[in-house]
Amino acid sequence: MTSEYRRDVFQAIADPTRRKIIDLISQQPMNLKTIAEYFDISRPAISQQIKILIECGLVEVKRVGRETYCTIQPGELKKIADWAGQYAGLWEDRIDSFEKYVNKLHTKKNKKYGKFK
């Protein structure tokens, strides 16, 4: 784990606590204490979770006096939306049978090379 280490953002959002933190600070920046009030776990636990969110670039932190304000960095969230969104074609017209699936793939191919048909 060097200094340029960047944690996998998909691994980061796997934890429901971290997703809730993201949700909270996406509405407005929040210091750690305020965030912790939304959970039943200790503040060190929250601190550790935030550290993970920082390491993968989902959260940025600014120290103001003794408080640490957390703000969201939406860029990494966009990467996730893009990854899942690349399969949008699959849920447009839903495939519920193996045969249909094969058919659809075939159609796609035809579309792609349609001008050569």
Positions 42 through 101 that interact with DNA (CB under 7 A): 42-45, 47-52, 61, 63, 65-68
69 binds a second copy (CB under 8 A): yes
102 binds a second copy (CB under 8 A): yes
Pairing of strands 59-64, 67-72: antiparallel
Sign of the alpha-carbon dihedral angle for 7, 12, 17, 18:
positive
Among positions 9, 25, 31, 72, the unique one binding DNA when judged by CB under 7 A: 31
Q: Which stretch binds a second copy (CB under 8 A): 25-33, 37-45, 46-54?
A: 25-33
Angle at which helices 43-55 and 16-27 cross, to 10°: 80
Residue 105 binds: one of a second copy, DNA, none (C-beta under 5 to 8 A by kind) = a second copy
Task: Report which of 1, 8, 12 is spatially closest to residue 53, judged by C-alpha positions.
Answer: 12
